[in-house]
Structure 1
Amino acid sequence: MTEPVAAGLPAEPQPQPRPAARRRELSALLRTAVVVAAVVLFLNRFVLNLSIVEGDSMQPTLHPGDWLLVSRLAGDALPIHLGDVVILRDPRPEDGSPGYLVKRVVGLPGDVVELRQGQLLRNGLPVPELYADRAPALENFQAVQVEPGHYFVLGDNRQWRASRDSRTFGAVDASDITGRAELLLWPLDHAGRL
């Protein structure tokens, strides 16, 4: 035997959350959002951040619009090595605004660096540069000894006036290096470690 089923009866009303409970939920959500925002800001300022390449001074390695994951722990916490791609404060911004440059470290403190007939020399020895533009640089520079606490940086694009780098403004003070590029994130077909 089947039991009769009531059709069309309204469902029992659900209890509504009380205003105090709703305020507690919103307060907890707001606290969580503030903590997440603080962590993201801390990481962006002191640990990692995203940088987007402008200009072609680092071609063929990097192109305008490439996305870089940059470690902000450069310096004592993350030593700088030859060949590292670094982000630095522009020592001589052209438009007067504080700008940043992306360059490759080719000379460490105490090194003697020069560019002769398109060949980079470090301490008198040729430096193999698989990353640098193959077009010959149109200007040589005389041997320069890198001062303590400084780094000699060049753009990978060595064509004449394609890159403002240590050939233009001299060796860079270590305190002006704000990060080391670790990964090329975008475009995906070129993504990988630098």
Structure 2
Amino acid sequence: MENAPPAEPAKPAEAAPQPYSVGTAPEKPKSEWRDLASFLVKLALIVFVVRSFIFSPFSIPSESMMPRLLIGDYLFITKWNYGYSRHSLPWSLPLIPGRIFGSTPERGDVVVFKAPPTDNTDWIKRVIGLPGDSVQMVHGQIILNGKPVPKQRIAQFVLPLTPNFGRCPTASQSMDAEGNVTCSIPRFRETLPNGKTYDVLDLGLRPQDDTGVYTVPAGHVFLMGDNRDNSTDSRFSHEEGGIEFVPLENIEGKAVVSFWSTDGNANWFLPWTWFTAARWSRIGEGF
């Protein structure tokens, strides 16, 4: 019987395959700060685009547009209605030359604009005169293109005295059923030639209630506040603090809806007062 051949020596075990191929570097751990910075840049870009070209919030700083708008009202304006200019962008960045996709507002539109002559402050007024129109005030009534704008006396405008409306311009003060001191102001309804109606306040004859004839130049509009005796508008020269004729490219957008309103009684450190100070009936009002 022949001897069996000697057994072959055992082969060493093969090394386990590497998780990545030769020459590929291991994945670097992600930086949370880098991801956060990227998110914030994208968010800022979205906000910039939305505020510049779609809609933007605006708060009411004065009584010039009473009774429709009160101090403490917050509203949205749409940005596409009249075209775009550098004033459509935050801080009026000079990225848009002139005015693009431009169109003319309608009489009666409520618009937010950069107030001449400085063009650095946002104001809100109502469009009364368009390019080529003649506008005059005679005894407190608008004469538009030679024809009086109908002005009808309606019920008094009654508003409680609050931190956002603390001074009554008339002597007509009374107490309501809830014990609040209220102010009563004469109110009228105007109707423009295109059928647009809106309410105005008028305390009586003032120097600005009788004016010369204003002829609106091309590319401009004539704007007025609804609170006729408390509005520095196109009736006044720049030397008087007014805005004269407003260039169309200064218009930022059209007021469309109120989304919040407060009477000024809220305290930031008392969250429940954010709700008790809200004027709920004014929220959601359109124009």
TM-based fold match above 0.5: yes
Q: CA deviation at 1:66?
A: 0.7
Secondary structure of the structure 2 residue equivalent to 1:152:
strand
Structure-2 separation of matches of 1:183 and 1:102: 14
Deviations 1:2-59 (A, max 9, x none): xxxxxxxxxxxxxxxxxx6972888666544432331112111232110101011111
Where in structure 1 do 4 or more consecutive aligned residues deviate above 2 Å? Answer: 20-37, 72-79, 134-137
User: Which position in structure 2 is the counterpart of 1:117?
Assistant: 139
Counterpart of 1:39 (choices 46, 50, 54) is 46
User: Which position in structure 2 is the counterpart of 1:58?
Assistant: 65
Counterpart amino acid of 2:219? G
Quickly say closer, same or farther: Cα 1:168–1:189, change in 2 above 3 A. same
User: Which position in structure 1 is the counterpart of 2:212?
Assistant: 142
For the pair 1:164 / 2:232, whether they are aligned, the reply is yes
Contact 1:89 1:178 in 2 (8 A): yes
Structure-2 separation of matches of 1:137 and 1:91: 26
Contact 1:136 1:158 in 2 (8 A): no
Structure-2 separation of matches of 1:101 and 1:32: 33
Give structure 2 stretches of 5+ with no counterpart: 1-26, 84-100, 151-189, 191-197, 238-243, 262-279
Question: What does 1:65-84 align with in structure 2 at a 5 Å threshold?
Answer: 65-73=72-80, 74-75=82-83, 76-77=101-102, 79-84=104-109
Question: What does 1:175-190 align with in structure 2 at a 5 Å threshold?
Answer: 175-187=249-261, 188-190=280-282
Quickly say closer, same or farther: Cα 1:174–1:137, change in 2 above 3 A. farther
Structure whose CA Rg is larger: 2
Quickly say closer, same or farther: Cα 1:180–1:108, change in 2 above 3 A. same
Secondary structure of the structure 2 residue equivalent to 1:168:
coil
Contact 2:115 2:246 in 1 (8 A): no
Secondary structure of the structure 1 residue equivalent to 2:258:
strand
User: Which position in structure 1 is the counterpart of 2:179?
Assistant: none
Deviations 1:78-130 (A, max 9, x none): 6411101111112145xxx9212110000000111111111112112222423
Deviating more after overlay: 67-76 vs 167-176: 67-76
Identity of aligned residues (%): 31
Greater fraction helix: 1
How does the TM-score come out when normalised to structure 1?
A: 0.77
The one of the two structures with greater contact order (alpha-carbon pairs below 8 A, sep at least 6) is: 1
User: Which position in structure 2 is the counterpart of 1:10?
Assistant: none
Contact 2:222 2:245 in 1 (8 A): yes
Contact 1:112 1:143 in 2 (8 A): yes
Secondary structure of the structure 2 residue equivalent to 1:58:
coil
Counterpart amino acid of 1:104? R
Quickly say closer, same or farther: Cα 1:78–1:189, change in 2 above 3 A. farther
Structure-1 separation of matches of 2:227 and 2:117: 19
User: Which position in structure 1 is the counterpart of 2:115?
Assistant: 90
